[in-house]
Amino acid sequence: MEEEEVQYDVVTCRHCDGAGCLYCGKKGTVEVRHPARLCPKCNGECCIYCGYTGWDKPRGKYE
């Protein structure tokens, strides 16, 4: 059986709007699980659940 491959989408960090900040590692973008969705807790306004990126399931935070 093959392992299920997790896909990621690259999206603009909502916290800094692409300028680069602490939460996106100064890249301005974040990788989130495909399909990219805004964080359901804050609706993209950035909160602790999305690691302040505004996106649902950012890579490497809650895996």
Classify the C-alpha dihedral 50-29-24-7 as positive or negative.
positive
Q: Which is nearer to Zn ion, 8 or 49 (CB)?
A: 49
CB of 41 to Zn ion, least distance (A): 5
Q: Which is nearer to Zn ion, 3 or 49 (CB)?
A: 49
Check: CB of residue 21 under 8 Å from CB of residue 13.
yes
Place of tokens 């399931």: 57
CB of 6 to Zn ion, least distance (A): 20
Check: CB of residue 47 under 8 Å from CB of residue 56.
no
Residues lying near Zn ion in the complex (CB under 5 A)? 13, 15-16, 21, 23-24, 39, 41-42, 47, 49-50
